[in-house]
Each structure stands twice: as C-alpha cells, then as structure tokens.
Amino acid sequence: MLDRLVAFDTTSAKTNLPLLAFISDYLANHGVRSELVRDDTGEKANLWATIGPDKPGGVVLSGHTDVVPVTGQAWDTDPFQVVEKQGRLYGRGTADMKSFLAVALALVPEFATARLRVPIHFAFSYDEEVGCVGVRRLIPRLQEGNVRPKAVIVGEPTSMQVVTAHKSIRTYRTTVTGVEAHASRSELGVNAILYAAKLIAFLRKAAQEFRDNGNPAIGYEPPYPTINVGMIEGGTALNIVPKTCTFLWEFRTMPEADSQDLLRRFEQFATDEVLPRMRAEMPAASIVTTPTHQVPGLTDEPSSDAATLAMALAASNQPHRVSYGSEAGLFRAAGLSTVLCGPGDIADAHRPNESVAIAQIEACLRFQRGLVAHLSA
C-alpha cells in the first residue's frame, strides 16, 4: 500500500485527485463508501469515509495526502518509488505522512469485518503543507450531529509517541517598495533590497532574543519561539537600483502565547525606524506586510478523550509536545478532542532521502489494530 501511495506525485502544487481515485476505488472494493470535498478549482479534494455504524462518537484517523517538493534535492533513489534499505523505506512521503495512511488503508479489510460499536472515519486532506488549507473545508463534516467523533488521531510523524500540544504558526509576506535608478546614480533611487535587509536583520535579532530566553522546562524542542525567513526576491538587474523586494517569513510560538506580539514589534520598527529613512529619499516609498496563513497551536489537554485513548493504545503514560504545526490545532479549535500519533520521525521529513523505519510501521499496525479491538463488541 505504501508503494502505491508514494508512486502518486502529490506535491502540493499538483492535483491529488488521481491518488484519491485510487483510494476511493480501493475502499469501494471493500464495501466502504467515500465522498470527496473539493476545493474551488475542482483540482484538489479531501476524502471522507466511514466504516462501521452510522452513529456519533467514533474515532477519526486523519492525515494529509500532499507532500513537499523534491526540486533541487539530491536523492540517491527515485523519490516516488519506495526502496527498502537496512530496515528503512525510502521515498517522498514515507515519513510525512503516507505511512500512516498506508497502514489505515491496508487494515480496511480488518476494519470492515470487525463488529464495531462506533465508526472509524478516514479524513484525508489536501494542501496541509502550504498552510493546512484543505482540512478547513472538511472539518464542518465532523461537526455534524450524526458524526461528532469522540477522538481525532492525526498521524503526523511522532515516532508513535502521543503528542498533545504543538506550536502555532503565522506566516507573512513583506514587500518593500523603493525607486528604480541607474546604478551609477544610486543616490537618485531608493534601494528596496537594502531596506528589506534592515527588516530581516530585525527578525534575526528578535530570533536571537527568543533563543537567549528559552526555557527547557516548557517541553518543546527548541524551547523558545522561532522565526524563519524562507524566501526572498528583489531587483531586476545588477545595474539597476531595485524598486521592490519581497520576503516571506514565519513565526512559531507556544499555543498559549500572544502570536501577534512579534508582528506588532516588527511593524513598529518598520514604521518608526525604516520607513522614515526611505521616505526622506522618496515620499512614495512603502513597506507592506500581509498575513498569508495562520495555523493555530494545539493546546495541551493530556487527559482528553483522544489523549487517554491514544496513550492506552501506544502503551504510554507520557504525553509529548512538538514544535511543528499540523491540522490538529484546527480540529481542536473546532471543539474536537485531538492528538498526534503516527509513524516516522519529523527529522526525516522534508529532506532528500526521506525515510521511515519498518519498525515504526509495525508499531503503527499494532496501534490501529488495538483501536479496532477497543471499538469492537
């Protein structure tokens, strides 16, 4: 099953419909009905399926179908073909997070023949990697009275540890606009790249302040908020003073923290320190920062229904916290008891030669088979 899922190139920029068509047909062959919740373009969709009785109080196995790009990465093997080496399976999505989906699908025959007291639902989403976009259209389906699950288990790579909290994510686009001029008369222009560099330097300083004041006792790794400037673009030619410079940046912090505080500080610095200097050269200069995505943090509820169930199935009494974001925060914000628990290590995700240990898949098999036993008469 993992071979089949990885073979579909579901990079976020591409459609996931061929993968969902395969899953839908597979489920139908086992007597399981599914439905697609599409985006506005019709090129992407979430998949929703239910196994067992039509009644509330079941458990959702949730995961995203999209993967990050392989462009520019040096892979030793074909990223869209699973290769086994020394107890590990290599391929894009093996860790994040097609192994969890593969386990759930491989167990469909066992799910379908079990005498389930409450249903098991599949919630497979699109575009998680670009801001948890798709699942927002699917969540209302879970809030319906005849569904209303008791627990949602999101199969992000947690090394099969039960995660009850993760950081929030806010992403931004900042565009600095100056004035073009010939490079030999640079005093006649306003260099957008140089002023963007001042803003980026502010973010770098803020990131260092967070690091210096980290508190290991809070349980996150790293134990402080983080800032990343991930993309930058500006200028048209070496001999032209650049008119515009745009950079994308993100801020990750604890779910209970004020995630807007950094933006307020950043905009105040831009308004009080950088923009006056730019406008002294050209009054029309501007700095515009636009929020692009917001992923709420997963607030810690270690004794929730989902946490109690997942820790029993994982034979663990120690909940964990992680620094990456996920769809779990959106489920929790919708009032649904939610945890993360899935095979693989986040350290292996998003990198060349992504892989998952076979032992992790075996642990996930035990977990999901335990779930069936727990929910069966």
> How far apart, in whole angstroms, are the C-alpha atoms of residue 80 and residue 70?
10
Name the residues annotated as catalytic: 66, 128
Question: Within 10 Å of residue 84's Cβ, how many Cβ atoms?
Answer: 11
Phi, psi of 283 (to 5 degrees): -60, -25
DSSP 25-36: HHHHHTT--EEE
DSSP string, 325-365: --THHHHHHTT--EEE--SSBGGGTTSTT-EEEHHHHHHHH
Best CA proximity match to 225, nearest among 240, 209, 244? 209
Peptide bond into 225 cis (omega under 30): no
Query: If we measure between CA atoms, which residue out of 167, 82, 104, 88 comes closest to residue 348?
Result: 88
How many CB atoms sit inside 10 A of residue 234's CB?
Answer: 19
> The tokens of 163 are what?
């995660």
**Rounded Cα–Cα distance for residues 62 and 153 (Å):** 6
What's the helix, strand, coil split of the chain in %, to 5? 35, 25, 40
Q: Are 99 and 342 in contact (CB under 8 A)?
A: yes
Distance CA 87, CA 76 (A): 16
Length of the chain: 377
Cβ-proximal residues to 86 (8 Å cutoff; 6+ apart), any chain: none
- Give the whole-angstrom CA distance, residue 273 versus residue 177: 16
